[in-house]
Structure formats: structure tokens, C-alpha cells
Amino acid sequence: MTLAPSPPKDQLLPALFLDRDGVINVDHGYVSEIEKFELVPGIVDAIRRFNERNWRVIVATNQSGIARAFYTEKDMFTLHAHMESELADAGARIDAIYHCPFHEEGEIEEYRRDSELRKPRPGMLLQAMKDFPTEKRLSFMVGDKLSDVQAAESAGIHGFLYKEGDIDAFIEGAYHTMMALKRR
């Protein structure tokens, strides 16, 4: 399947922000191995649709498993490369991935700290908006935890809490909500 081309990095565009575990992949608890990586049914279609709309698709994910010594940052990068490859093979593209490896109760001293990057704080989203000019009034985040929604709201965008069901229909519903709000 053909990928929609990546938009120029300096172009002002809306962005779909996605949490990873529980939204892009099934959350089996600290997923770090390719063998345990399983895309949520429907997420490929949702991402592809936003690629075709010329929206950026950006992942913002807490990865405290690094600080907790469940896996390494290298393991996470390997998994992300696999995720991006699997999505690309299906014609879907992620434009950027932001992660927070820190946790204040981490086992690994290097990662044991509080961080503005860790959701519910907005650091990852704000950094993404700094790296990519973002049309905030249309942009939104989909996550499976309240902390995802709180991070979105703190960053000045809408957040939508996904729990279960058809992720493609859920994200499309969030998009139509944003379009309705735009007309006000």
C-alpha cells in the first residue's frame, strides 16, 4: 500500500496526537518485545485517514518501564521501529514519536526523577508543537488514560478518552467533534 507523503516539517498543520499502549497497540502491560506487539484493530485505517487529510500523526507515550528496569530505551526504540514498519507496510505513517522514560520511583537512577514530559504534564505535546508548527484549534489527543486527556488540555488542545470498542470509529467521531467546534 502506498504511503501518503510526509508534509514539510515547517508547514502549519493540525495534529492527531495518540498515546501508544492501549490506543495504537493492545496494552499487554509494559509492551517491549516485538512478539507481544499487537496493533489495536482499526488503528491502521484511522492513522491512514489522517495521513490522507494531511494531518500530522504524533505519538506521545509514557514509558516508565524504562525507569522501572523492565526494558531499556534501546528495546523501546527497536519496538518503535517495528511499529512504524508494520504501519508503513499497511500504508499508514507516524510523523514523530515522543516518549517519557522517567518515573519518580524508578529503579534506574538515570531515569528516577519527576519530569515535565510525563503525562499528565504537557511536556511531550508542547515539545512536539515546538518541533512542528501545529494548528492547535483543530488538533486533539486520543488516549486511554485520564492523564492523556489532562496533558492535552494543559497543552491547549482537546483530549478524548478511549476505553474500548472500534478505535477507528472513535477517532473519526473525535475528528467530527473538532470540525463541529471549528464552525462555532
Dihedral over Cα of 43, 18, 134, 3: its sign = negative
Half-sphere exposure of 70 (CA within 13 A, CB side): 15
Active site residue 19: yes
Q: What share of the chain is helix, strand, coil (3-state, %, to 5)?
A: 40, 15, 45
**Pairwise CA distance, residues 83 & 177, whole Å:** 28
Catalytic residue from among 19, 144, 148, 168: 19
Helix axes 123-131, 146-154, angle to 10 degrees: 50
**Pairwise CA distance, residues 126 & 123, whole Å:** 5
**Pairwise CA distance, residues 43 & 48, whole Å:** 8
Element (H, E) at 114: none
Catalytic residue from among 21, 95, 144, 168: 21
Active site residue 21: yes
- Active-site amino acid positions: 19, 21
